[in-house]
Structure 1
Amino acid sequence: MAILQLITILLQVLHFVSAHISIPSAQPIQPRQLQELDPTTLAPEEATLLNFSNSSLPTTLKPQRCKVFPGDPTWPSDHQWDLLNKTTNGALIKTIPIGAACFPGPLYDAAKCSYIVSQWGNSSLHMSDPTSMMSPLFQGRTCQPPSISPASNGTCTIGGYPAYALNASRVTDIQLGVNFARNTGIRLVIKNTGHDFSGKSGGAGALSIWTHYLKDIEYIPEFRGEGEKGYNGPAFKSGSGVQAWEIYEAASQEGLVVVGGEGRTVGVMGGYILGGGHSPLSSIHGMGADHIVSLSVVLPSGHYITATPTQNHDIFWSLSGGGGSTFGVVTSVTVKAYSDLPITALTFSFTGSTTTQFWAGVRAFFNYFVPFSAAGTYSYFWVLPSPPGGIPTFSMNPFFAPNLSTPQTLALLKPWLDNLASLGINITPKPVTYPTYLSAWQTSFPQEGVGGSSGLTGSRLFPRSNWHNETLLNATFAAWKGSIDAGLLTINFNFAPTLEAGGGPDNSVNPAWRETVLHSIQIASWGGDADFAEIKRVRELMSERQRVWREVSPGAGAYLGESDREEVGFQGSFYGGNYVRLLSVKREVDPGDVFWAKTAVGSEGWRVMGKGPVGDENGRLCRV
């Protein structure tokens, strides 16, 4: 049961001017978003609450130790919330926890509860809710259906969900929401789909800007960039709520591909691409963020700007890999597109008659990480720990080979498969070559499960240099294998998103990515009825396993979107040598910390006063 639970977890500025950031009239991003906020249209009462600022510092409040919280004397009145709702044309939504239908009281609805329970592991359920998130552990587990988790003890409270969400359909809505939060001193968060492993879209007492329905996609056959190094070619301008399947279908209709993730429902034009974004195409095209040519952003001041390599460059650089939820609300992203291409893909699994035989087969695979990724491939594989006395299972889901035919793919795999056969592990591969990226992706990457709340994740980007000699490679393998021996599940990716593959961009993608040949995620779990002591034990186990992984890969990093919420030294792990510049931009554009998210740039100055045995969003956000 614990392994199934583990799999569920994953598969699961008014005139702000500075030397670096100008505020021109932004280009329209989508047909329905042409209207920006005109402060002259605000009534006097509204202007006090909703007007722009010369900076991101609250205009009506003195700096306070904590963000304003429900129950505080300065918490916005019902009348003030009504003003926000009126000016956004009814876009404000008061949070009702998604699991409330399963608890006694006026919201109880047996049929609705049954549906929610049946769909709890389906990302579509959570992404369509204004505040639900796909890692409910970090909400505090205060209103999970009892049949899903007993952690709520028969009661339902809002916990770490935001107090309100603003269903944004216009730039104006976002500007009003940002101004409201800044001028009242309440916490502000952003939700697109809610996939982030660390629960960044949560926040007790917060207002959430919900960008999920910013869905328009515009194909630009001949994009023309600025300057000598500007990109010229096909591109797509997409609202930040666009998901992988939507942009892939749009690109395929034009005979093109864009670089996005393997997860079907991930908001690829939101947190995914802003945080770097690895892709099945990364070994040939680099990271998702490498292909951004323009972004439209609402800043903490409430102003709306366009950021490109030549305009508002610091904002452009920071948002191209340095993570979302901290510099502003991105409303659209324009990305490069490339000619479609054939893909060969295959899946297989194996175990062994003995653990020695099994691990010899997996260790042989590690020998080919550099040549496989150099050939442009993307290996997505799991190793599931064994029950006591049993043998683990290796599962390739899939081996994904862009621009390689079936014979070429088999020739590439042959040395490893021959190694396996010599060990007595016989694999009969059945590769399929697909004519387009979309057709291969649709078949190879089924929608993943989400919603688990009985485990913790950690990750590491293991560098190519660890493959330079046998001794270091053996140490790397031993450290990685040690987590599986300790009962952890690993989900792994062999690929190489080099700077050259990405086209040599100037962006803030974690430099550790450029040396990576293995991105590995480890997951530790507990039983559904685990007490505080057991959960603490698992937390300590994860911390120890992460330490071992760090020690064997000094100077490397981890992926901020698929990581340990309590990553030690997150600044270096998630951002590397870019962190000093990123923090400087953060302090310049958001000196009042209107935006805050766990492990985001600038987050070290605040902490959530959470209530659970692991860090969560169920508490006040206060200065350290």
Structure 2
Amino acid sequence: MKRRELLKAMATLPLLPLLMRSGAASARDAATVMMAKFHSRVRPGAPGWPLAAQWEQLKRDVGGRLLKLESPFAHCATSPSDSACAEALKHLDNPFALGDNPALTQTSGWADAWKSQPSAYAVAAENTADVVAAVNFARRHHLRLVVKGGGHSYQGTSDAPDSLLIWPRHMNKVTLHDDFVAQGCVEAPQHAVTIKAGAMWSDAYDAVTTKGGRYVQGGGCTTVGVAGLVQSGGFGSFSKNWGTAAANLLEAEIVTADGKVRIANARTHPDLFWGIKGGGGGSLGVITRLTLRTFELPTMFGGVSGAIKASSDDAFRALIAKAMEFYRSALFNPHWGEQMSFRSNNTLNLSMVFQGLTQPQAEQVWAPFLDWVRADSAYRFAKPVQVLALPARHLWDAEFFRAHAPQLVVADDRTGAPTHHVLWAGDQDQVGWFIHSYQSAWLPAALLQPGQQSRLVDALFAASRQWGFALHFNKGLAGGSADAIERARDTATHPQVLDAFALAICASSGDPAFPGMPNARPELARARREAAAIDKAMDTLRAVAPGAGSYLSESDYFLHDWQQGFWGPHYPKLAAVKHKYDPDGLFFVHHGVGSEAWSADGFTRLA
């Protein structure tokens, strides 16, 4: 043992009597745990894994809310009639049901990367004290610790085998404020909303917009967890106008690795506050509640959808050029968000949203582009282009959509489910999906300039020959409001987002493939072929955007230079925050701050 490690281990010796009094098997077992702290985490069956009596003590400490986890698919092969298996299969397409099971995640895995596997135990936290107890238990026994909020992590950070899971699903209260002032701060009171860690955006939107008549910047998918989205940056459909969720964070309550409950805001622990605004979830602590600013609603929200098919490759390239010219001249502003996608079958799909415009105004904006399409026989509408608008308060109003556009939403179909628990029908294909590949890159606004547009168009066309992809305009802040850009500047998110007009996303996936699920056969050969094609497509786009960063929540599991890719020049500061609040590396997630110090599974400290 190196001298430095020996001195650190000796510093833990005063804790041994305490461990013995609390029921540790012996001083030798306790010493084993302490020594192992600097080399590896403890797995079930290994020396130092908590005894049954210690788990029982944790169960008492959290009011009985300690769960021993098992996949509902664990016995499907030996007992197809198993009730847990049957129930899970029945609701496999229901993201709310997946979220309500601590042994499952919204993504079932990623080819050659990870697969969804439950933790050994979970604390079904109902208050901050439960979270503190779980953090302290994991630290004392040197366990792998995981936090699952919405469970949407594409990179598998919401679960891990042989770990202790903190599951705050039932901490979902949402409270509106008319005069919020962050602790220790002196700014004028403002409208805000406080959201507990287990809430989804469907819960937040129902309280803030449908019932409260205000706007909070969150994610597009209603089943995403609020806390996880904020920590990862937090782009929503209208980020160009109101900024990212991280940039609108006013205050958070967070449990750090030492088990202390801290309030983080601009005045109190400002370094930690900055770090959780885009530094990624699961690396710096466990958020138990957060407070976000809210805004006055616009009069209307709306959308534009449709698809245009070109009759030849040359016509498709001309269509791309026209679309980019049209975007720069008419849509590159705070009113517009969401995406255009470009398919290898020479189809341009439109899935745009707008705010602050009426339907006639939006139709007027699009008229020149659509007239150009209609005037050329090389194009046809594969799907009619529709422009629709609705009063802003109804954007997430489940009852409104049930009455007027039921085809656009999918409800939680379980008996007794909250009526506001609906997701957009367009997000249904992500429920339980098995990812083949997923990559993203921010594209700088300079590519929209007249002298650069041809390079951009050439790259978009060439990329579409390899694999289909989309430009998510709301996930780049260039062209947005000055306030939105300025607030985002004071976050840990990669600064490239300030100058990006869009985030290019290229991905592929297969059907759900949870381990043990009947007929779950991931098509790995197909996945690898598609991943290779996506590599080529993204290489083409990155050629016109050298050094392009990626959005942490939607990125490549295999990204090599992930520190630079996710955070750029912010990473050294984030690493310093990590060292200050979690010097021993209790919190670990794949490609999270400080994860380079650990093996890929998070169990072994690297030399």
- Residue in structure 1 matched with residue 306 of structure 2 by the alignment: 348
The answer to whether residue 201 in structure 2 is matched with residue 201 in structure 1 is no
- Are the structure 2 counterparts of residues 325 and 117 from structure 1 closer, same or farther at C-alpha, using a change threshold of 3 Å? same
- Residue in structure 2 matched with residue 623 of structure 1 by the alignment: 606
- Spell out the pairing of 1:571-610 with structure 2 (5 A cutoff): 571-609=563-601
Provide the rounded CA distance (Å) in 1 between the counterparts of 2:469 and 2:368: 24
- Residue in structure 2 matched with residue 280 of structure 1 by the alignment: 237
Q: Look up the equivalent residue of 1:322 and give its one-letter code.
A: G
C-alpha contact (below 8 Å) 2:309/2:380 kept by paired residues: no
Provide the rounded CA distance (Å) in 1 between the counterparts of 2:397 and 2:331: 19
- Are the structure 2 counterparts of residues 530 and 137 from structure 1 closer, same or farther at C-alpha, using a change threshold of 3 Å? closer
The answer to whether residue 47 in structure 2 is matched with residue 91 in structure 1 is no
Q: Look up the equivalent residue of 2:355 and give its one-letter code.
A: P
- Residue in structure 2 matched with residue 612 of structure 1 by the alignment: none
Partner of 2:40: helix, strand, or coil?
coil
Provide the rounded CA distance (Å) in 2 between the counterparts of 1:89 and 1:245: 28
Q: Look up the equivalent residue of 2:455 and give its one-letter code.
A: A
Partner of 2:103: helix, strand, or coil?
coil
C-alpha contact (below 8 Å) 1:297/1:304 kept by paired residues: yes
The answer to whether residue 337 in structure 2 is matched with residue 373 in structure 1 is no
| CA displacement 1:415-453 (0-9 Å, x = unmatched) | 322332233335564322211154378666435332122
1:115 CA displacement: 4.3
- Spell out the pairing of 1:22-421 with structure 2 (5 A cutoff): 45-46=21-22, 60-105=34-79, 108-109=80-81, 112-138=84-110, 160-225=117-182, 230=187, 232-252=189-209, 253-268=211-226, 270-341=227-298, 342-370=300-328, 371-385=330-344, 391-397=345-351, 399-421=352-374
Which range is displaced more, 227-236 or 134-143? 134-143
Partner of 1:82: helix, strand, or coil?
helix
- Spell out the pairing of 1:544-563 with structure 2 (5 A cutoff): 544-563=536-555
Tell me the C-alpha RMSD between the 2 structures.
3.0
The answer to whether residue 390 in structure 2 is matched with residue 434 in structure 1 is yes
C-alpha contact (below 8 Å) 1:344/1:434 kept by paired residues: yes
Which range is displaced more, 310-319 or 347-356? 347-356
Q: Look up the equivalent residue of 2:501 and give its one-letter code.
A: V
Provide the rounded CA distance (Å) in 1 between the counterparts of 2:358 and 2:107: 38
C-alpha contact (below 8 Å) 2:111/2:524 kept by paired residues: no
- Are the structure 2 counterparts of residues 181 and 440 from structure 1 closer, same or farther at C-alpha, using a change threshold of 3 Å? closer
Q: Look up the equivalent residue of 2:357 and give its one-letter code.
A: L
Alignment TM-score, normalising by the size of structure 1: 0.79
Provide the rounded CA distance (Å) in 2 between the counterparts of 1:323 and 1:133: 18
Provide the rounded CA distance (Å) in 1 between the counterparts of 2:353 and 2:393: 10
1:483 CA displacement: 3.8
Q: Look up the equivalent residue of 1:394 and give its one-letter code.
A: L
Provide the rounded CA distance (Å) in 1 between the counterparts of 2:204 and 2:274: 23
Aligned pairs, how many?
540
C-alpha contact (below 8 Å) 1:188/1:595 kept by paired residues: yes
Provide the rounded CA distance (Å) in 2 between the counterparts of 1:116 and 1:392: 39
Q: 1:570 aligns with which of 562, 569, 572?
A: 562
Partner of 2:228: helix, strand, or coil?
helix
C-alpha contact (below 8 Å) 2:233/2:278 kept by paired residues: yes
| CA displacement 1:13-69 (0-9 Å, x = unmatched) | xxxxxxxxxxxxxxxxxxxxxxxxxxxxx99844989xxxxxxxx994453322212
Provide the rounded CA distance (Å) in 2 between the counterparts of 1:441 and 1:392: 36
Partner of 1:277: helix, strand, or coil?
coil
Provide the rounded CA distance (Å) in 2 between the counterparts of 1:541 and 1:353: 23
Provide the rounded CA distance (Å) in 2 between the counterparts of 1:142 and 1:518: 29
Q: 1:508 aligns with which of 477, 492, 502?
A: 492
Provide the rounded CA distance (Å) in 2 between the counterparts of 1:47 and 1:305: 29
Q: Look up the equivalent residue of 1:423 and give its one-letter code.
A: D
- Residue in structure 1 matched with residue 471 of structure 2 by the alignment: 492
Provide the rounded CA distance (Å) in 1 between the counterparts of 2:252 and 2:35: 31
Structure showing greater relative contact order (alpha-carbon pairs closer than 8 Å, 6 or more residues apart): 1
C-alpha contact (below 8 Å) 2:307/2:348 kept by paired residues: yes
1:276 CA displacement: 0.9
C-alpha contact (below 8 Å) 2:215/2:297 kept by paired residues: yes
C-alpha contact (below 8 Å) 1:225/1:231 kept by paired residues: no
1:128 CA displacement: 0.9
Which range is displaced more, 415-424 or 243-252? 415-424
1:287 CA displacement: 0.8
State the identity as a percent. Answer: 23
Partner of 1:168: helix, strand, or coil?
coil
- Gaps of at least 5 residues in structure 2 are 1-17, 26-31, 402-407, 409-423, 512-519
Q: Look up the equivalent residue of 1:262 and give its one-letter code.
A: G
1:99 CA displacement: 2.0
1:358 CA displacement: 3.5
Q: Look up the equivalent residue of 1:277 and give its one-letter code.
A: G
